[in-house]
Every structure is written in C-alpha cells, then in structure tokens.
Amino acid sequence: MSARGGSLRLRLLGATLATLVLALVGAHWWLAGLFRDHVQQQFDTALSQQLDQLTARLEFDARGQPVIGPRGMSDPRFEKPYSGLYWQVEPLPLVAGDRRAALRSRSLWDAELQLPDDALADGAIHRHELAGPRAEPLRAAERSVQAQQPVGSRWRLIVAGDLHEASAAIGRFNGVLAASLVGLGVLLALAALAQVAVGLAPLKAMQRGLQRVRDGREQRLAGRYPAEVQPLIDDFNGVLDRNAEVVERARAQTGNLAHALKTPLAILGQAAREAPPSDFSSLVGEQVGQAERQLQWHLARARAATTQHVPGQRTALGPVLGGLLRAMDKLHADRHLHLEADGVPPDLAFAGEEQDLQEMLGNLLDNACRCARAAVVVRAVRDGPWLQIAVDDDGPGIAPERRAAVLQRGVRVDESQPGSGLGLAIVVDLARVYGGDLTLGGAPAGGLSARLSLPAAG
C-alpha cells in the first residue's frame, strides 16, 4: 500500500465488486441447481406415469405369461424404433446367463435394457441411469409385480427415457441464466460506480475547498456537507480559526516587542546625536544603529516564521510592486532612474504575507536603485508552483566569485555607500522561510540580476 493509504474509491469499488461477483456466482449455482432438480423431478414424474400405465396395461394369459392389453401404450414413441422412450418386462428372479425379456417395446427393436440386479419390494419404484440401445444416456424407473398364476411368480417392469432433451434444456437454461446474471452484474457494477461517485462527491467538494484555501482564495472551508463529513469540516475550520488567532497574537506580541525596544533605542540614538562629539557618543550612535537594524532583521524573520504555514494567504504581486516602484521613484528622484515592471501578468500572486513581500521586494529594489546607472527593470513569471521575480539593474554588477558572499549577513554590495549589509540577508532569510530562495546573476543590461523564487498562490 502506498504512503497515502490507498484510494478510498478503489477500496469501496473493490469490496462492492467482490461481493457482487460472489453473490452472482452463488445465485447461478443455486438457481442452476434448482432448475436441474426441477427438470429431473419432472422427468421422473413422467417416467412414473408411463410406468403406472405399463402396470395397468399388463395382463397374464392362461399360462401365466405377461401380455399387454389390446389398448397398448398410449405414447406413440413406444412404437418408433430407437425413439428414446422404452419399456420392458422381465421375470424375477433374474437367471444368470439368461436375462431375456419377456416383453419389450417396439422402440427397443432388437435390443434390451440391461439394469443391475435389484431387490424390489412389491410396488416400490427404483430409478437407475444406464446406456440405451445406441449408447445414449437413459434414466429408468422400475417396479416389481406379482402374478396370480402361477402362484408366486414375479415380474420386473421397466420404463426408460433419453436424457438428451432434459440435458439440453438444462444447458440452455444455464446459458440464459449466465448471460442474464452477467448483464445484471454489469448494471449493478455501473450502479456501484454511480453510488461511489455520488457518495464521495462531498469529499471531492472538500478537496476543492482545501485547494481554494491553499491557493489563498478563501480563509475557511465554506458550504454544507453531509452529516458524516460536517463534523470534520467544523473541526478543520476551528483549527484554522485558532491558528489565525495564534498568528494574530504573535504579530501583536512582535509589534509590542518592537515598540518596547525601538523607543529606548530611539532615545539613546537621539541622545548620542545631541551629545558633544566624542568617541563615546560616536560609539553609542553606531551601536544603537546596529541594534535597530538587527532588531528589524530578527523581527522580520519572526513575523515570517509565524505566518508561513497559515492557509489562505494570498498577496497580489501587481499592486505591491506598483506601490514600491512609485516609492523608489520618489526616494531616488535625484538620480532620475527609469523604473519599469516589464510585462508582469496581473494574475500573479504570492502565497504569503503582503508585508513580507514588501520587505523582500523593497530591499531588492532599493539595492538595484543604489547601484543602477539609468534603469531598473522588474520581470515576473509563474513557473509551476513557484513565482519567479527578477530585479535587473544596469549598474556595475558583482563579480561571480563575490555573489555568494554578499548574500551573507553584514556583507555590503557597495562598500563605498552607507548600509548595514542586512538587506539581501533579510531577503534570503524571508524567502527561505517560505521555502524559496534568492540567487544573483548577470542582468541583460550588464548589471546585477537578483532572482527571487517564492511560492505562488493559485
């Protein structure tokens, strides 16, 4: 069995079809047996009636020899040679080596019926199966009668019929029965397929609802489901609600922590700037700035870590990117850069928090604007479950051997410009929290191309 535990649909169909096959095979065996017994009973009844007629027609002459009355037997098949219906009268007890019949039907022609020796009580009927004159299968009924003259003489009366017609009728019935049961089995199998499809339809609806939640189109599983499934839906929605509450509480605590730390740091920084210039005031100002940047970095990581697995997250890329490009255009207005989003599809969305996407793209755009000579171009496409975003500039770029180093914390792209070296490190950490990554390469215009991979929302 696979790691998923197999298919519920296949389990239900397998169990249903196996039970169906067993039921149909059992029905065929039982009905065929009933019909075979019925045909045999009818055949034996017909033989008993013929035997009763033979007994009624049997008379004895003055010498005590059996004769058939003038009316004879009513069935014309007794007169047709090898017709498949025969009668015979022979004396009892049987004499070894001399078992000649006293009387036999014309249908036997010059043959005789050879039944095994049998102890027959008066009036009792015994039945046997034997080979006929032409080796055809026969079923025979026999009884013994006692004549008045001579006293004590006994005779065995035999009537036999060909089993071919009965066997053919049984064969035809079995064929029709098998075809009917196969047709019924096909219809029942189709009904089972329809039943499974209808019965599992709520699970398909639940799967589509989960897909919408995963793609960020909905926050909860909506709709009504059967009584057997609704408790699961309610519990799942309850888990989503509690998870959202936990995330919101974590955000609030993160914001409170940031506010609690930023205020004292801001006061210390302001005091350092207002103090008379000295080595101490410079050291305090530098360390306060470093602490603020480290605080920003760790808070971004903590915020992303608490929201990365929250279902239903969806942030449209276009509005966020447009707002950042406008902000960067104002921030770097003195450089007169050309900022462009090159053919970004309007339906692209990030499966995560808007603030995290702004943090990542804002750092990449700010770095690109600092290094660019005249233009920054942003391109984005969807590649399967991933959102691929490239921020290209036409600046001096970075040597391939240094690209891995500048992604580390504290390493700056341009050492001649102010900065903490945390921008790209924050982008890398946030991207990896969401399962993505950031890579650096060469841009078509000769500068740097920062390629960001993030999970795409449906």
For residue 334, give the CATH number of its domain: 3.30.565.10
Q: State which residues form the domain around 378.
A: 315-455
Residue 250 confidence (pLDDT) above 50 = yes
Does 174 reside within a domain? yes
Last residue of a domain, one of 283, 307, 331: 307
Kindly state whether residues 139 and 253 are assigned to the same domain. Answer: no
Kindly state whether residues 294 and 420 are assigned to the same domain. Answer: no
**376 or 70, which is more confident:** 376
Residue 83 confidence (pLDDT) above 70 = yes
Kindly state whether residues 146 and 1 are assigned to the same domain. Answer: yes
Predicted local distance difference test score (pLDDT) of residue 180: 95
Kindly state whether residues 182 and 48 are assigned to the same domain. Answer: yes
Residue 102 confidence (pLDDT) above 60 = yes
Kindly state whether residues 238 and 188 are assigned to the same domain. Answer: no
Does 100 reside within a domain? yes
Q: What is the mean pLDDT of residues 283-287?
A: 69
Residue 186 confidence (pLDDT) above 60 = yes
Kindly state whether residues 33 and 163 are assigned to the same domain. Answer: yes
Predicted local distance difference test score (pLDDT) of residue 34: 96
**159 or 270, which is more confident:** 159
Label each residue of the chain as H, E or C: CCCCCCCHHHHHHHHHHHHHHHHHHHHHHHHHHHHHHHHHHHHHHHHHHHHHHHHHHEEECCCCCEEECCCCCCCHHHHCCCCCEEEEEEEECCECCECCCCEECHHHCCCCCCCCCCCCCECCCEEEEEECCCCCEEEEEEEEEECCCCCCCEEEEEEEEECHHHHHHHHHHHHHHHHHHHHHHHHHHHHHHHHHHHHHHHHHHHHHHHHHHHCCCCCCCCCCCCCCCHHHHHHHHHHHHHHHHHHHHHHHHHHHHHHHHHHHHHHHHHHHHHCCCCHHHHHHHHHHHHHHHHHHHHHHHHHHHHHCCCCCCCEEHHHHHHHHHHHHHHHCHHHCCEEEECCCCCCCEECCCHHHHHHHHHHHHHHHHHHCCCEEEEEEEEECCEEEEEEEECCCCCCHHHHHHHCCCCCCCCCCCCCCCCHHHHHHHHHHHCCCEEEEEECCCCCEEEEEEEEECC
pLDDT in tens, 130-177: 999 999 999 999 998 887 766 667 888 999 999 999 999 999 999 999
Percent of the chain with pLDDT over 70: 80
Does 217 reside within a domain? no
Residue 300 confidence (pLDDT) above 80 = no
Predicted local distance difference test score (pLDDT) of residue 454: 92
Average pLDDT score over the chain: 82
Kindly state whether residues 280 and 385 are assigned to the same domain. Answer: no
Q: How many domains does the chain have?
A: 3
Residue 425 confidence (pLDDT) above 90 = no
Kindly state whether residues 110 and 204 are assigned to the same domain. Answer: yes
Does 218 reside within a domain? no
Q: What is the mean pLDDT of residues 393-414?
A: 75
Kindly state whether residues 323 and 350 are assigned to the same domain. Answer: yes
Q: What is the mean pLDDT of residues 185-190?
A: 93
Q: Is-above-0.75 flag for pTM?
A: no
**Amino acid identity for residue 299 in this structure:** L
448 close to 440: Cβ distance less than 8 angstroms: yes
Does 219 reside within a domain? no
Does 432 reside within a domain? yes
Does 72 reside within a domain? yes
Predicted local distance difference test score (pLDDT) of residue 1: 38
Kindly state whether residues 272 and 256 are assigned to the same domain. Answer: yes
Predicted local distance difference test score (pLDDT) of residue 252: 64
Does 226 reside within a domain? no
